[in-house]
Structure 1
């Protein structure tokens, strides 16, 4: 049995060492040194190779080395081939850390204070108690629920929205298109943690921003495809939005001319909210392989009809 790894080769060496120590019976190979392609039953990849069926004729499972699978063109992957998301507790921890940092930066007005520092200006502004700040999270999946749990101790009023109904202790939950305006109307800070699908592409747009309270702030740590970038600039210029923290863009890296680089009300980070760590991700990947071999359901199996 062989597993082919197709992603960052430096991290690949860490993965290889973990397999050698804990699962020596699995032949771990790093792309492009695939050896005999007929040996490969499992593929762990960020992007799948072209002509997957011809390249790896005996492939049984594709493990996406990410919490989402929007980087994969599922239409080019055989319908009979299971695609499994990576359930890495390190990703959940990283996402929660970033969310807390971004929310607190906006809550405590750090973008304004940063601009004052650059201008040599020493001026305090009114502090809004956390209990009076309303945080709304779009997307109520595994990662979003970790984020909400991390935000609870601060005392914010928390709400969430998803396409389907959820019940989360301490969180006011909304569901579906009909309830989206009511959810948005009580979000002082809106955080997007949605998966990117045909239904969510471009969802952060002018129409959505108009439903937010004037002066609300945005955090996008989902995917760049969620945001209509020009609509964000227009909302910031008009004052409908006061600030944004963005970890993802339509095009990454951003071009040197991109207006987000120097915008005073945008904090931009280079897609670093969370990073897959081999040490924390390995146990789940190995367990899923064992589950598949035993004929058991794998954790993180992608529903093709939903896109995640």
Structure 2
């Protein structure tokens, strides 16, 4: 009996040691498709911090906006022994084989922010709900318009990008539905679409072109804050800022928040890069540790439209983004 008790104690100690070893062995890889914008840089920093807080070692890589390089980054991480992979994919379909290969090698893969095609074998895709955020932004814009005609300059990220499509569709559907519901009719026109490649400079250039062709713009709608901030500079330089309402479908860049506080910018959708990264890492590490999770292919953070009324809830001047 004593021998059995001792054996049981030793077995329990061995299991505890094994569990501790498994925890210590946690190795997280973070494969970003780019670090060339503040949003993605902040996301990478937050992912690293979240993994380290959970006791994991961390490897990160910058795909430099190149799908082939990102595929190589993922293959290198798997070869190096990561057992949790967080990937912000450069291409929804192009990353599928690399992700499937990582999963087949026993790696727990979580996609983050940009959408990965659901045909891939991964745990879940963590992101803000572009549709839900957009709808809230559209409803807010409808209320601000008071039913007056809207001449909208649309600033989009890149052609064919599914995130951009979801963002603008969400805003415009929310705007149209709320305007009709509140005022009985809708006089809404997209006077032009410019492509700003998600960047401040791109937004500035696209806005300059739109201003040349249209002198009746009273709303600028961008698919992220960076492009709208650039558009504001173009409007200011052209002495056309007065009477133009600035709205973004998503992001929550601190410069935008500051302008919202000052009444110089209308609203933006909430898309916190640090919150997405932290949640993605937590899900991956829980999967590694065998913890039960009720997840679908898509995991969304809570949507919100950030305006002058609630911006203090979200604004952090010390934020990286």
Calculate the TM-score normalised by the size of structure 2: 0.40
Larger radius of gyration between Structure 1 and Structure 2: 2
Tell me the TM-score normalised to structure 1 length: 0.42
* Structure whose residues are more often helix by fraction: 2
